[in-house]
């Protein structure tokens, strides 16, 4: 996956020897506070580094809803003398992903690490699952963001999905970059779009209020 990400952000088919990474790199926020970046990525060009260097974050999943029903299905599989994968593969229609919680866990580090990366002359690459990518795109006005894929971008959002073109087989689930879900834009403009949501609500501070003494008043 790192090879695929590198080929995308450098817009080239790179040999493995030209892709340089550092794992779990400390990102210093203040003298007493720091985060860990999943990867620092750079490209070797001859004996020098390419101008694009980036923090690469991999979002590894999130919570699911109706976990009790999922657990019950696993327990039924465990106690079934004829257990097989067909039981485990049965879909639980009520269960799904909770993108809101996944984003809440990610957003502080996304905002802070990205700010450090950009101020240090680097870029931020956020590799996320398709559900979270779609969730973020629904929250912003994508038309307000410039497409800087072939220019001086500072933020890349790259969606990763299951590679269903390959026949199922035992082992890890094959993954691929979803080329239909990528955004290369300006980091600060994207953050502004995230924070500048909503507008004045004329009814917000009107209506019936309850006094702490039990009285009520309509404003």
Cα 45 versus chain centre, distance? 29
The pLDDT value recorded for residue 151 is 93
CA distances from 68 to 54, 61, 90, 100, 125 (A): 40, 19, 15, 19, 35
Distance CA 100, CA 105 (A): 9
Predicted structure pTM score: 0.82
Distance CA 195, CA 180 (A): 25
What lies within 8 Å, CB to CB, of 133 at 6+ separation is 157, 159, 178, 181
Comparing CA positions, the residue from 139, 71, 126 lying closest to residue 100 is: 139
Residue ranges per structural domain of the chain? 2-62+98-195, 64-96
Tens digits of pLDDT across the chain (219 residues): 999 999 999 999 999 999 999 999 999 998 999 999 999 999 999 888 899 999 999 986 667 777 788 888 888 888 888 877 777 777 777 777 888 888 888 888 889 999 999 999 999 999 999 999 999 999 888 888 999 999 999 999 999 999 988 787 888 888 999 999 999 999 999 999 988 888 899 999 999 999 999 999 999
The pLDDT value recorded for residue 61 is 67
Q: What is the 3-state secondary structure (H, E, C) of the chain?
A: CHHHHHHHHCCCCCCHHHEEEEEEEEEEEECCEEEEEEEEEEEEECCEECCCCEEEEECCCCCECCHHHHHHHHHHHHHCCCCCHHHHHCCCCCCCECHHHHHHHHHHHHHHHHHHHHHCCCEEEEEEEHHHHHHHHHHCCHHHCCCCCCCCCCEEEEEEEECCCCCCCCCCCCEEEEEEEEEEECHHHHHHHHHCCCCCCCCCCCCEEECCCCCEEEC
């Amino acid at each position: 996956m790192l090879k695929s990400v590198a080929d995308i952000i450098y817009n080239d088919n790179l040999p493995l020897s030209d892709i340089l990474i550092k794992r779990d790199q400390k990102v210093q926020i203040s003298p007493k506070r720091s985060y860990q970046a999943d990867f620092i990525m750079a490209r070797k060009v001859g004996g020098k580094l390419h101008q694009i260097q980036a923090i690469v974050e991999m979002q590894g999943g999130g919570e699911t809803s109706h976990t009790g029903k999922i657990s019950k299905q696993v327990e039924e599989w465990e106690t079934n003398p004829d257990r097989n994968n067909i039981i485990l593969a049965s879909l639980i229609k009520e269960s799904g992903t909770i993108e809101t919680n996944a984003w809440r866990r990610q957003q502080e580090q996304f905002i802070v690490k990205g700010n450090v990366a950009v101020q240090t002359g680097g870029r931020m690459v956020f590799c996320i699952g398709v559900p979270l990518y779609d969730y973020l795109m629904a929250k912003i006005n994508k038309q307000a963001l410039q497409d800087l894929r072939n220019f001086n971008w500072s933020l890349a959002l790259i969606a990763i999905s299951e590679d269903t073109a390959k026949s199922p087989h035992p082992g890890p689930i094959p993954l691929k970059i979803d080329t239909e879900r990528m955004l290369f834009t300006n980091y600060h403009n994207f953050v502004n779009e995230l924070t500048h949501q909503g507008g004045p609500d004329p009814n917000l501070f009107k209506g019936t209020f309850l006094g702490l003494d039990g009285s009520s008043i309509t404003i």
